[in-house]
């Protein structure tokens, strides 16, 4: 069961990485085109700022679960590095449970906010402003899956004990 879970989560991670690459490339292309048009031809694309900001938000939120997987998020290791390995492992599992619970709350709230305000539209394109909220929900769900996996797997980067 754990192997299947891990394989599915790895596939989801690969998909997230490809979406991040594509979103980043699109964002760079749109911003570059906007700069060329503005300074080279005294023209502009009305929707470029809003769409590039939307792509940026999506890329950042899709990257959060990948950071959880790698153990790459900022943490205070001063205390943790001085506790015994067994206690450190139990603390990591407790933090994973707490993180999973927090992601459930974030997902729930993101969905509620999106439902309440879905009819608010962006100024330059005919899209709901809640396309900025959708990646929050996606990141919370994906992060939840990684926190659950951390109950049986250590993050790829672990804290070393101080000798």
Q: What's the 3-state SS for 61-126?
A: HHHHHHHHHHCCCCCCCCCHHHCCHHHHHHHHHHHHHHHHHHHHHHHHHHHHHHHHHCCCECCCCC
Q: Looking at residue 108, what is its pLDDT?
A: 97
Nearest to 25 by CA among 56, 48, 60: 56
Give the model's pLDDT for residue 162: 43
Question: For 73-92, how does the pLDDT look when each residue is reduced to its tens digit (9 = 90+)?
Answer: 666 667 777 888 788 888 88
Could you tell me the pTM of the whole model?
0.83
- Say yes or no to pLDDT of 10 above 50: yes
Q: What is the pLDDT of residue 161?
A: 45
DSSP 121: B
Task: Please answer whether residues 145 and 12 qualify as being in contact, where contact means their C-beta atoms are separated by less than 8 angstroms.
Answer: yes
**CA–CA separation, 47 and 136 (whole Å):** 22
């Amino acid at each position: 069961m754990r192997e299947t879970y891990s394989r599915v989560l790895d596939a989801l991670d690969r998909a997230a990485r490809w979406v991040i690459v594509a979103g980043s490339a699109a964002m760079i292309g749109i911003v570059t085109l906007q700069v060329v048009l503005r300074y080279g031809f005294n023209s502009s694309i009305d929707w470029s700022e809003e769409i590039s900001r939307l792509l940026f938000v999506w890329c950042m939120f899709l990257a959060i679960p990948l950071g959880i997987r790698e153990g790459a998020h900022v943490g205070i290791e001063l205390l943790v590095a001085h506790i015994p390995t067994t206690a450190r492992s139990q603390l990591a599992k407790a933090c994973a449970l707490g993180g999973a619970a927090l992601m459930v709350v974030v997902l729930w709230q993101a969905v509620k906010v999106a439902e309440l305000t879905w009819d608010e539209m962006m100024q330059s394109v005919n899209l709901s402003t809640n396309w900025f909220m959708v990646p929050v929900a996606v990141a919370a769900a994906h992060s939840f899956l990684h926190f659950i996996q951390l109950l049986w797997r250590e993050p790829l980067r672990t804290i070393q004990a101080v000798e």
